[in-house]
């Protein structure tokens, strides 16, 4: 059977500051009908660049140096812009990472879906029926009502399902999915990926899945390619590559992933960070060598050849570099509640929203009779599906919403002692401010003015506490990596040492190596400063790693709560069992 997509020793070049640099080097892989090929690696590895090349979305100045990218036997570089546009959305579908950016904020879901069908030449009375069928297919609640809503009226997971439904509705030959489940909880992930498999069986579609979620790749993909700085460093069957990795980089990624079972040990982290575009020109050999614990001069001087270490399992590294072992550290302790009055207490809290559909108003119970406490120095996790009410609880605690009934009691009424860490650091940080200005912004509040010397001294303390380099203080957010931006976000929340941090999905969009750094940072500052944390997350492995206690939300209510290890090992509520069964995908 001929492949749907084939990369044949492709090299992609770009001119950076007058130098021609190979951003992608010698990329070779194939994707056959009905198969899923996963591309995994950190941000900057080149995964999305491959997706952009397939979709014809490369920035100006990027050229193919050698090799070919073939779609059903046709070299994509030979297609005219018109021919490429005709393929996109029809024979090649693209599912983007950011659903709110991809959906038009001033158009209803029905109008956007109808516009998608019109692009394919489908119009008329039957369009509405087909839209409803696809919204049902991705298990969105109450599709007839949802048709009249705008993107901002849906949760992030619901918006992503709308985009996935659009992609599937084209019945394409190839789907390029770039981090399609980042905003989704484990149950919805399982639903979406089951739908993906179903569509592959029905239509024989091939899928390129770009993801940093190794658990998801191990569960869904048939083959996996591990990318680092524009190179494929390991490739083979997903179960072999991700459960028994050979390349030191793959081993490092694998060890950075927290599991929901087994020993709870400190997550090892990779040193330094991915090289930038300009730095790639100075790395003729293995580009991972500067971060590799076992690299030698030969690694840095010459790009290793591919070798078949095991049947159909290939690796691009010297034999001495393979199966790099890490000693197993001792188990770590959770941040449990200390003696004293609870920092936060919710007592029978309810929140109702009013929504209009046509001429009718509906009352929606977003939060139903929620009672929850967070003790001094305690880390508590709040988990549940997208739309279960987790973020509504956070908004109530922060005072952004007023409860319909019930009480919210804070030990310290000083608003600066309650801090919120946002999910997306890019949108949370003022792009015109320096890092120094951002992390000491609390001193600009009335009554908190300090001297420039004191502000600079506090900034130095904060970057030391959060592991940021000292030379980042004069930089602006666009000059930082994603992990550094999130550290700035956390440092800002620590400026006036808070009693309680509320963190809403703060690591869901980060690479596993950066995620491990952030989680270890939170554990350390919690131990050292005695800060309490309410962590809102759909990643049960993250919650188990960092939280002593967990509360499970379903349809606006807390259905189970208790010590994390106890709840995860012996859940009592059927919904908790559903969450854990969906997440119980182990790499070992």
181 and 56 in a single domain? The answer is: yes
**326 occurs within a structural domain:** no
CATH number, domain with residue 542: 3.40.50.300
483 and 405 in a single domain? The answer is: no
**419 occurs within a structural domain:** no
> Cα–Cα distance between 42 and 253 in angstroms, integer?
9
- Tally the residues of the chain: 588
- Secondary structure of residue 154 in the 3-state scheme: coil
66 and 204 in a single domain? The answer is: yes
Question: Would you give the end-to-end CA distance of the chain in angstroms?
Answer: 32
Last residue of a domain, one of 279, 294, 321: 321
Cβ atoms of 455 and 440 within 8 Å: the answer is yes
Cβ atoms of 160 and 168 within 8 Å: the answer is no
β-strand partners of 552: 383, 560
449 and 492 in a single domain? The answer is: yes
* 5-16/19-31 β-pairing: antiparallel
80 and 131 in a single domain? The answer is: no
165 and 179 in a single domain? The answer is: no
β-strand partners of 504: 536
**209 occurs within a structural domain:** yes
110 and 217 in a single domain? The answer is: no
Last residue of a domain, one of 275, 296, 321: 321
228 and 367 in a single domain? The answer is: no
pLDDT digits 0-9 by tens, 158-183: 888 888 888 888 888 999 988 877 66
The residue among 357, 456, 346, 444 whose CA lies nearest residue 395 is 346
Total domain count, the chain: 4
**327 occurs within a structural domain:** no
- Residue 538, pLDDT score: 84
**Who contacts 83 (Cβ-Cβ below 8 Å, separation ≥6)?**
none
> Which residue range is the domain that position 445 belongs to?
424-498
339 and 203 in a single domain? The answer is: no
**Looking at residue 383, what DSSP letter applies?**
E
Question: Which residues of the chain register pLDDT less than 70?
Answer: 156, 182-183, 320, 322-331, 355-361, 585-588
123 and 201 in a single domain? The answer is: no
> Cα–Cα distance between 149 and 144 in angstroms, integer?
10
516 and 531 in a single domain? The answer is: yes
> Cα–Cα distance between 442 and 448 in angstroms, integer?
7
Q: Is the pTM of this model over 0.85?
A: no
**393 occurs within a structural domain:** yes
């Amino acid at each position: 059977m001929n492949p749907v997509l084939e990369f044949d020793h492709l090299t992609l070049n770009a001119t950076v500051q007058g130098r021609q640099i190979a951003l992608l080097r010698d990329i070779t892989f194939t994707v056959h009908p009905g198969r899923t090929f996963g591309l995994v690696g950190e941000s900057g590895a080149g995964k999305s660049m491959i997706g952009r090349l397939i979709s014809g979305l490369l920035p100006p100045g990027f050229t193919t140096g050698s090799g070919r990218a073939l779609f059903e036997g046709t070299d994509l570089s030979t297609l005219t812009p018109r021919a490429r546009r005709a393929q996109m959305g029809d024979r090649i579908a693209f599912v983007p990472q950011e659903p709110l950016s991809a959906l038009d904020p001033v158009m209803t879901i029905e109008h956007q879906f109808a516009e998608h069908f019109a692009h394919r030449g489908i119009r008329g009375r039957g369009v509405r029926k087909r839209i409803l069928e696809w919204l049902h297919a991705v298990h969105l609640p109450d599709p007839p009502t949802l048709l009249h809503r705008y993107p901002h009226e849906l949760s992030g997971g619901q918006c992503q399902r709308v985009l996935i439904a659009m992609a599937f509705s084209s019945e394409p030959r190839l789907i390029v999915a770039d981090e399609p489940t980042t905003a989704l909880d484990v149950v919805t992930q399982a639903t979406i990926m089951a739908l993906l498999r179903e569509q592959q069986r029905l239509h024989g579609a091939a899928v390129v899945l770009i993801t940093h979620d190794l658990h998801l790749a191990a569960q869904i993909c048939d083959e996996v390619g591990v990318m680092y700085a524009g190179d494929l460093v390991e490739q083979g069957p997903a179960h072999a590559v991700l459960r028994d990795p050979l390349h030191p980089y793959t081993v490092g990624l694998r060890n950075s992933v927290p599991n929901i079972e087994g020993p709870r040990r400190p997550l090892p982290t990779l040193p330094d960070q991915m090289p930038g575009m300009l730095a790639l020109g100075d790395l003729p050999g293995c580009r991972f060598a500067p971060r590799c614990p076992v690299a030698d001069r030969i690694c840095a001087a010459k790009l290793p050849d591919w070798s078949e270490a095991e049947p159909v399992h290939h690796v691009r590294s010297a034999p001495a570099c393979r199966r790099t072992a890490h000693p197993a550290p001792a188990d770590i302790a959770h941040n449990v509640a200390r003696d004293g009055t609870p920092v936060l207490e919710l007592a029978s809290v309810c929140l109702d929203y009013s929504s209009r559909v046509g001429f009718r108003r509906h009352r929606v119970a977003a939060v139903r009779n929620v009672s929850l406490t967070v003790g001094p120095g305690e880390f508590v996790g709040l988990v549940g599906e997208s739309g279960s009410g987790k973020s509504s609880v956070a908004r109530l605690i922060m005072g952004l919403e007023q409860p319909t009934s019930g009480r919210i009691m804070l030990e310290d009424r000083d608003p600066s002692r309650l801090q919120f860490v946002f999910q997306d650091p890019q949108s949370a940080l003022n792009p015109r401010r320096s890092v120094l200005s951002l992390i000491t912004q609390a001193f600009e509040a009335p009554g908190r003015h300090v001297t420039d010397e004191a502000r600079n001294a506090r900034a130095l303390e904060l970057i030391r506490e959060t592991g940021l380099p000292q030379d980042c203080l004069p930089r602006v957010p666009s000059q930082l990596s994603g992990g550094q931006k999130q550290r700035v976000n956390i440092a800002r929340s620590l400026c006036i040492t808070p009693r309680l941090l509320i963190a809403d999905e703060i690591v869901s969009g980060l690479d596993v190596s950066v995620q491990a750094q952030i989680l270890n940072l939170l554990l350390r500052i919690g131990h050292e400063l005695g800060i309490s944390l309410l962590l809102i997350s759909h990643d049960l492995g993250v919650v188990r790693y960092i939280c002593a206690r967990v509360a499970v939300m379903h349809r606006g209510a807390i259905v189970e709560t208790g010590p994390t290890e106890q709840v995860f090992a012996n859940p009592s509520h059927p919904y908790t069992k559903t969450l854990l069964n969906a997440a119980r995908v182990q790499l070992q």
